[in-house]
Amino acid sequence: MAMAQAYRLDLLLALLLPVVGALMPGTVVRLNEAVLSYVSEIGTAPLQQALRVTVPYFLDWNEEVHQPTRIQTLNVHVPHFHLKFIADFGVRMLVAANFTFKVFRVPEPLKLVLPVVLLADAQVAQGSIRTPVVSISACFALFNSAAVLDGSTSVAPGLLVLVQNHIKAVLRNKLCLSISNLVQGLNVHLGTLIGLNPVGPESQIRYSMTNAPNITKDYISLDISAILFLLGKPIVLPVDVTHFVLPPNVGADGAMATVGLSQDLFDSALLLLQKAGALNLDITGQLKSEDNLLNTSVLGQLIPEVARRFPEPMPVTLKVRLGATPVATLRTNNATLQLQPFVEVQAVTSNSAFQSLFSFDVVVNLDLQLSVSKVKLQGTTSVLGDIQLTVSSSNVGFVDTNQMRPLMDTVFKRPLLDHLNALLGMGITLPSMVNLYYINPEVFVYEGYVVISSGLLYQR
């Protein structure tokens, strides 16, 4: 039942993509030449397993009758596995493999090593569900002469030729099919790119390709849209989203992956946090705390009317609400964040009711440091300069912002930073697939976008 519901949700979102895809912020994932070396490294073992095909019995002519002779594949060793990009198409595969067979002939078994070279071209395209799809378009098997092991020199040359031809005929039919099946398994893995990933308790992010991949001799580049959802509804920016193009030669040289994140993606994520109310918080003082400054006694020293109304110390609460969407600014080597919260100062009365004392419009400028952990982009912030305070309303007469600023610096900044950094520390999932992680990432900030240069690690 749950699987059926998940399928229906995926189908619904797939239908939604053509409607909102053009309005969604863009990211670019560029896989460079270095990734091909890693793929060939981790792919050698599964490739050897896939090439270990079954060879049917060989009909050996013996004493004027055909004797069925068993042939066992003992081992497949791939000493060379090379991949390279084909511009405007996909990837070319060159595989050198040594097959070891045991022929159970009478009177003694025969062991053979048969060298094979496989050439295959794999096209990379956009699939129906907007994920990368790889398909084998051409495949050839080239055979060298088999070598006899264990000093089995007594085998008749004619028989050796017949056995080789039998094995080659089987491999010629089966090896390319095995590679094609291996690629189909890869496509299942690539399909996990579109999975929904949580951002918060009621929000998710979903990535999908917007068009066919751009392939050069040096890299394959995927244009990907990011759709953020809150309570099942997509977050749409109030202004038109521009098509994001990742410039060449950005990030670190030699990285496996170069990921570009547009300004629009940051704007959407902040709009999501604002709409979800995740950035709102209450800062409450406790009377029994020795270093607590959030009480009417401290405020009364700055505002006489507060002292008059509350002769006995009572707790004070700062209700922080973000009506305006936070603004991220990306400049070369510098990312900043501006928050404009509305802060209402309330006191607890003797009957435990809340009484509004005054309120501020606040502007907080923050330095934003970005990092990547596994598949998540995370952030930490620190305050830049002074907090700007403007009195919005007051029920206790005149409020001097110059006198209030040191107190607000003490009681407001740290809880705000702790709350904000906890949210940003949860992170937002980057384009990725199941069991694939970013390693040794470097984050670069450019004018209007962010680039992540990273290695990749596949773990089962």
Q: What is the pTM of this model?
A: 0.88
Q: Would you say how long the chain is, in residues?
A: 460
Give the integer Cα–Cα distance in Å for 239 and 99.
61
Domains and CATH numbers, the chain: 33-192 (3.15.10.10), 237-458 (3.15.20.10)
In this prediction, residues 109-115 reach a mean pLDDT of: 91
Give the integer Cα–Cα distance in Å for 99 and 54.
12
Percent of the chain residues past pLDDT 90, beyond the cut: 76
C-beta separation of 120 from 50 below 8 A: no
In this prediction, residues 24-50 reach a mean pLDDT of: 95
Query: Of the ranges 6-10, 166-170, 280-284, which one carries the lowest mean pLDDT score?
Result: 6-10
Q: What is the pLDDT of residue 375?
A: 96
Residue 291 predicted with pLDDT over 80 = no
Q: How confident is the model at residue 1 (pLDDT cuts 50, 70, 90)?
A: very low
* 48-to-122, 138, 449 alpha-carbon distances in Å: 18, 20, 42
In this prediction, residues 116-133 reach a mean pLDDT of: 95
Q: What is the pLDDT of residue 2?
A: 42
- Enumerate helices (H) and strands (E) in the chain, giving the number of each: 8, 25
The per-residue b/e assignment along 257-284, b for 16 or more CB within 10 angstroms, e otherwise, is bbbbbbbbbbbbbbbbbbbbebbbbebe
**Is 222 buried (19+), middle (13-18) or exposed (0-12) by CB count in 10 A?**
buried
Token pair of 132 as six digits: 């990368």
Q: What is the pLDDT of residue 246?
A: 95
Q: How confident is the model at residue 341 (pLDDT cuts 50, 70, 90)?
A: very high
In this prediction, residues 298-307 reach a mean pLDDT of: 95
Q: DSSP assignment of 175-193, as one string?
A: HHHHHHHHHHHHHHHHGGG
Residue 257 predicted with pLDDT over 90 = yes
Q: What is the pLDDT of residue 73?
A: 93
In this prediction, residues 153-160 reach a mean pLDDT of: 68
Q: What is the pLDDT of residue 106?
A: 67
pLDDT tens, position by position, 176-223: 999 999 999 999 999 998 888 999 889 999 999 999 999 999 999 999
Give the integer Cα–Cα distance in Å for 348 and 313.
10
Which residues 6+ apart lie within 8 Å of 293 measured at CB?
A: 285, 407, 410, 411
pLDDT tens, position by position, 438-455: 999 999 999 999 999 999
Q: What is the pLDDT of residue 107?
A: 72
Give the integer Cα–Cα distance in Å for 68 and 166.
12
Average pLDDT value for the chain: 90
Which residues 6+ apart lie within 8 Å of 272 measured at CB?
A: 199, 200, 203, 228, 230, 235
| CA-only gyration radius of the chain, Å | 33
pLDDT tens, position by position, 396-450: 999 999 999 999 998 999 999 999 999 999 999 999 999 999 999 999 999 999 9
Inter-helix orientation angle 401-411/413-426, to 10°: 40
